[in-house]
Amino acid sequence: MPRLAYVNGRIVPLAQASVSIEDRAYLFADGIYEVASIFGGALFDWPLHLERMARSLNELQIRAPMSDAALRIAAERLIRKSGVSTGMLYLQITRGAARRDHAFPDARTPPGLSMIARPFDFSRRVPEQQVGMTAITAADQRWSRRDIKSVALLPNVIAKQAGKEAGAYETIMIDPDGTVTEGSSTTVWVVDRDGTIVTRPLSHAVLPGLKRRRLIGLLEDAGETVAERSYDVAALKDAAEVFVTSTSSPVMPIVSIGGEAVGDGTPGPASLTACRLMWEEIERQTGWTPRAGSPGGD
């Protein structure tokens, strides 16, 4: 399988891909990104990614490098040439390359666009979902505009590394007032003792996760009670169930936090329902399922 990258209009071998040392993403983390899942060669929920990307660009006053239609053509061409059937597409847009100066460069400076498609075995998530994963908590040290999908991810990196060193799947971040925000790379959900499925309301404090957006609709259509409200670390640890969502883990039950069991220490019914609903939606959109021999399966 060729390792390729799209860089500012050209598809090149990954080892030869490069951007200017004056690109503002390198100098100032002045850019945004998206990560979309690929199932059977098809992009999942791509219109939602375009919508969120446009919002992030608008918030940072970065011009879109091309039209949505042209971007889709470029992304699908890269996926096809890379030979990726099931995996992820990473897309990054920056303010472009210009002499180092904190203020924005001339408006005529072209934005930078790069993309990489790489394989990822989503089918491995199924056995992981059946047993669940672990998490720890850590202080949320990020900036105040977490709703923008910025490439400035150093606090997330530090939190993820802390989880890795603790042998945990995810690090759940806590604001100074004790409010749960989100995971280092996931949206966090809790299930109350009364069975209500709860996740944080959208604000500048959290990223508008696309799996979050999709799953709220799926759960409500299935008759589940969903509430968008803030909750603190005490409620997190007292929850009957906890699960997280993200591009690489569409839904993942969390069965212990900081070494303490969540509920009875196994994935609960609401978490497993969420897993099932997401796989069904992926199949509906793309025809892919994690079952062996399914269309587009690896």
- Three-state SS letters, 193-254: CCCCEEECCCCCCCCCCHHHHHHHHHHHHCCCCEEECCCEHHHHHHCCEEEEECCCCCCEEE
Residue 252 burial (CB count, 10 A)? 25
How many Å apart are CA 88 and CA 121, to the nearest integer? 10
User: Is-contact 230 169, C-beta < 8 A?
Assistant: no
Tokens matching residue 228: 């968008």
Place of tokens 């075995």: 121
Whether 149 is catalytic? yes
Sheet containing strand 10-13, edge to edge, reads 10-13, 4-7, 112-119, 87-94, 31-39, 42-43
Pairing of strands 133-139, 170-174: parallel
How many Å apart are CA 184 and CA 161, to the nearest integer? 9
* Coil, helix or strand at residue 104: coil
Distances (CA, A) of 201 to 54, 73, 174, 212, 289: 21, 34, 15, 10, 30
Catalytic entry in 149, 164, 211, 237: 149
Phi and psi (nearest 5°) for 2?
Answer: -70, 140
Instruction: Give the active site residues.
Output: 149
